[in-house]
């Protein structure tokens, strides 16, 4: 039983769901995440909801990025074991 299940989900609450990501240059993520976990270090190329593209260089293994990326591009991404959280 989750005694906190009746609390609302918001952007400051802990994530309730997660999904692994396969970077893709065209497809958007199915759900706009609250954060992205990078399991293996490298660069992370993302597309933001406003249409801008940015690459986070040299993201260390085990990092959580508090970003709401619309997509994660294969081109420019060398990080792996990527998980979205929402």
Could you report the per-residue pLDDT of 53-82, keeping only the tens digit for each?
A: 999 999 999 999 999 999 999 999 999 999
Residues 6+ apart with CB under 8 A from 49: 32, 68, 69, 70
C-alpha to C-alpha distances, 40 to 12, 22, 50, 52, 68, nearest whole angstrom: 25, 13, 27, 24, 20
pLDDT at 77: 98
- The domain locations on the chain are 18-85
Contact call for residues 69 and 36 (beta carbons, < 8 A): yes
pLDDT at 59: 98
Checking DSSP bridges between strand 53-59 and strand 18-20, what pairing results, if any? Answer: unpaired
Q: Does 6 have pLDDT greater than 90? A: no
- Across 42-59, average pLDDT: 98
pTM for the full model?
A: 0.89
Q: Does 36 have pLDDT greater than 90? A: yes
Q: Does 38 have pLDDT greater than 80? A: yes
């Amino acid at each position: 039983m989750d005694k906190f299940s009746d609390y609302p989900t918001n952007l400051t609450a802990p994530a309730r769901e997660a999904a692994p990501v396969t970077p893709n240059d065209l497809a958007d993520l199915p759900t706009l995440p609250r954060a992205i976990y990078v399991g293996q270090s490298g660069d992370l190329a993302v597309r933001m909801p406003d249409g801008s593209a940015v690459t986070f260089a040299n993201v260390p293994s085990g990092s959580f990025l508090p970003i709401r990326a619309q997509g994660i591009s294969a081109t420019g991404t060398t990080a792996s074991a990527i998980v979205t959280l929402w």
